[in-house]
Structure 1
Amino acid sequence: MDVGIVGAGKIGATLARKLSAAGHDVLLSNSRGPETIREIATASGAVAKHTEELVRRSQVVIVSVPFSELPRLKPAFSGIDESVAVIDTSNYFPFRDGALEGLADSRTESHWVSAQLGRPVLKAWNSILAGSLAEKGLPGGAHARIALPVAGDGAEGKAIAMMLVDATGFDPIDAGSLDESWRQEPGNPAYCTDLRTGDLELALKQADRKIAIRKRDLVADKVFAARDQYTDEDILDLGRRIYSLTADDPELNP
C-alpha cells in the first residue's frame, strides 16, 4: 500500500522503517519540510515529502504528532479522499499539551482528533512505548507476541489498520468503535503494558473511565519528576502496577 506518515519522531520513524521493510511504499513528512528529514526518511526506507503531497498520494495516512499539534494539520486533510484510512497514534497529557479547546466536551480524545482533522480517524499504536515498538515486534504466530488495540468505525478502514499493526510485528485486537477508544488511552490497563492477546482483551474490559485520569496523571507525575531516570522497563512496571489499582486505593487518594 501507499502509506503516508505525518510525523518523523520516534513512533513515526519506527513505523516508517517497519512498514517499508514489510513491502509498503512509505512517505514521511514533518512540520519543518522534507529537507529536514531526508536522512531519517532514507534510513527508514521512506521518501520525505511535504504533508499536503503526502496526504494526496497515500491510501492510508498515519498521524504521529504531539496531541496539541493536531489542529494545524486540518488544511492538509481538507481535500483527502473518503477512501483514505486515517490512523492516529497520539495521546493527550495535560502537563505537555495544556488545555485544548473542545477536548473536555468531546466523547473521546479520538473524536476530538477527528474534529481537528475534519474526518473520522482510527486509533492504533498509541498504547505502546517507542522502545517496545522498535524492539519487541515478532513474526505472526510467535508465542510471546505483544498485542495492540485498534479502535474505530468502518470495517474497511479498521481492517487496513489491523493489517498494518500486524505488519509491524504485533497482534491486532479489535477494540471496538471510536466510542470505545478511551479504553486504550493513558491511565487504563491496556495502555503501555505490553500484553499478549488474551491479557489485552481482559485489560480492555477492565478499563475504568472514572479513575483513568487519576492513574494517568499519577504515572506521568512520577515519570516526569524522575526525568531520565526511568527506563522503558521501569515505565512498563510502573504502569502495570498503577493501572491495576482500585478506586479506593490510598495511592490514588492522597
Structure 2
Amino acid sequence: MVETLGILGAGKLGTVLGQLAIAAGYRVLIAGSGSSAKIELTIETLVPGAVPTTASDVYQQANIIILAIPLGKYQNLSPSALAGKLVIDAMNYWWEVDGPRPDLTDPRHSSSELVAHFLKKSHVIKAFNHMGYHDLFDEARPQGQAKRKAIAIVGDEHEYVKKTAEIVDRFGFEPFYAGPLAEGIRMEPGSAVFGANVEKNELKKLLARFEETKRGQMVLQARGINFK
C-alpha cells in the first residue's frame, strides 16, 4: 500500500522534500499558506506527481507530515488535526522571516520541544533541517552507494524515530540518530552541524563540537552545565 506523505510549506525546502518523496514512492500532498490554486503551477512545475492542496486536506489524508513552514508560524497548526500523526519538524528560526522571537531562541530548550509541547498528541521528530535545500536536491543517493550524506534525527519515541529513519533512507540519505528531542538544539542555526552536507562519521564529529560553539556555550550556561 502506498503511504501518503503531506508537506506543509510550498517554498524551496517543501518542494525539494516533495521531489524526494515522489522519487521514494510516496503519494505526496503539498499545502501552502492559502488555497491550492495559489501553488498549483509551482507544484505542477517543480514537483510533478504531487497534489497541491490545503492544510486541511493534508491533516485529513496524511499520517506522515513534514513541517516546512516558517518556525514562527508553528502555532497556526492544528493540534487536534495532527493528533496521533508522525510530524517531522524540518523548521528553523530565521530572524529575517520570523522577526525577533526570544521564545524561539531560548537556549534552555530546542525549538522542536516547543513544537512538541504545542502538538501534545502528535509524535514530533526533528529531521531535514540542517542540510540546505540545494544539497538535499543534489545529494540524494540510493542505499549502499559510496559517500552517501547523513541526516541527523532526534526524537523521544523509538517507534517514530525508526519510522523517520526509514523515510530519510528512502529519500536518499543515511539516517543518524542524535539523541532525544532536546538534542535538536545541536542542529539549529548557530551550531557546527547547521548547513552540514557530510557523511555519517563527520556528522557525528560536528554534533559533538556543539559545546565549542558560541551557541553551545550559551546553552550550557543557561542550563547550568559546566564544560571544560
Q: TM-score range by the shorter chain?
A: 0.7 to 0.9
- Scaled by the length of structure 1, what TM-score is found? 0.77
Any idea what SS the aligned residue of 1:161 has?
helix
Which residue does 2:32 correspond to in 1? Answer: 30
Report which of the two has the higher share of helix.
Answer: 1
Which residue does 2:101 correspond to in 1? Answer: 100
Say if 1:183 and 1:209, in contact at 8 Å, map to a contact too: no
1:149 maps onto 2:117 in alignment: no
Say if 2:132 and 2:195, in contact at 8 Å, map to a contact too: yes
Count of residues paired in the alignment? 213
Judged with a 3 Å threshold, the aligned counterparts in structure 2 of structure 1 residues 210 and 14 are, in CA distance, closer, same or farther, namely closer
1:122 maps onto 2:128 in alignment: no
How far apart, CA to CA, are the structure 2 residues paired with 1:95 and 1:213? 22
How far apart, CA to CA, are the structure 2 residues paired with 1:106 and 1:208? 14
1:189-222 CA-to-partner distances (Å, cap 9, x unmatched) read 221121101111111122127612799xxxxxxx
Any idea what SS the aligned residue of 1:4 has?
strand
Judged with a 3 Å threshold, the aligned counterparts in structure 2 of structure 1 residues 204 and 52 are, in CA distance, closer, same or farther, namely same
Which residue does 1:58 correspond to in 2? Answer: 62
Query: Which structure 1 segments of 5+ residues have no match?
Result: 216-254
Say if 2:23 and 2:171, in contact at 8 Å, map to a contact too: no
1:106 Cα deviation (Å)? Answer: 5.4
Say if 1:106 and 1:112, in contact at 8 Å, map to a contact too: no
1:101 Cα deviation (Å)? Answer: 6.4
1:12-59 CA-to-partner distances (Å, cap 9, x unmatched) read 111111111211111110111111112233341211121012112111
Alpha carbon RMSD of aligned pairs, Å? 2.3
Query: Which structure 2 segments of 5+ residues have no match?
Result: 219-228
The amino acid that maps onto 1:206 is: R
Judged with a 3 Å threshold, the aligned counterparts in structure 2 of structure 1 residues 32 and 106 are, in CA distance, closer, same or farther, namely farther
Any idea what SS the aligned residue of 1:13 has?
helix
1:58-95 CA-to-partner distances (Å, cap 9, x unmatched) read 1110010111122212x3x323341x100011111334
Say if 1:187 and 1:214, in contact at 8 Å, map to a contact too: no
How far apart, CA to CA, are the structure 2 residues paired with 1:26 and 1:20? 6
1:3 maps onto 2:8 in alignment: no
How far apart, CA to CA, are the structure 2 residues paired with 1:72 and 1:212? 28
Say if 1:182 and 1:209, in contact at 8 Å, map to a contact too: no
1:127 Cα deviation (Å)? Answer: 0.4
How far apart, CA to CA, are the structure 2 residues paired with 1:197 and 1:140? 13
Any idea what SS the aligned residue of 2:113 has?
helix
The within-5 A match list for 1:98-247 is: 98-100=99-101, 102-103=103-104, 104=106, 107-118=109-120, 119-208=122-211, 211-212=214-215
Say if 2:140 and 2:171, in contact at 8 Å, map to a contact too: yes
How far apart, CA to CA, are the structure 2 residues paired with 1:50 and 1:209? 43
Say if 2:5 and 2:64, in contact at 8 Å, map to a contact too: yes
Q: How many percent identity over aligned positions?
A: 28
